[in-house]
Amino acid sequence: MKLATLCYVMDGERTLMLYRNKKENDYHEGKWNGLGGKFELGESPEECAVREVNEECGLTVANPIMKGFITFPLFDGVEDWYVFLFAFKEFSGQLIDSNEGKLEWIPNDKIVELNLWDGDRIFVPWLFEDKFFSAKFVYENGKYISHEVFFH
């Protein structure tokens, strides 16, 4: 089982996205993603989110807003992934040259037009709504199969 965060830094009508094109053997290669990654020992979801955003883009973020939780059964074909989704509207600092890929501010209404995972096209609009979601997205061999969601 993997615990991870997926974070979206929002600046008004734009959101910071990462085009994954730099890491060798990257399961997400060629896809646009939010920022984030796996928990380190003893971290809370918020601590992981703040650390991962800083490591991947150089920004210091504050006041995480938990938007949702997604279960990805056997997402990588090996383990279940449990992912906490956060939005950040407060940040400072300058973007760095990420070792994960190319960082770019994308207009919010254009995000779903990017080369995203198919499930991301479904849940990204939920990030801009004033509610919390808990969902399960099923993939097989990297292909979206189905999802279910509860809104709170």
Give the confidence band of 22 by pLDDT, cuts at 50, 70, 90: confident
Give residue limits of the domains in the chain.
Answer: 2-151
pLDDT tens per residue, range 66-95: 999 999 999 888 999 999 999 999 999 999
pLDDT tens per residue, range 92-148: 999 999 988 999 999 999 999 999 999 999 999 999 999 999 999 999 998 999 999
20 touches 31 (CB < 8 A): yes
- What fold does the segment set 2-151 form as a domain? Nucleoside Triphosphate Pyrophosphohydrolase (3.90.79)
Nearest-5° angle of CA 64, CA 19, CA 95? 55
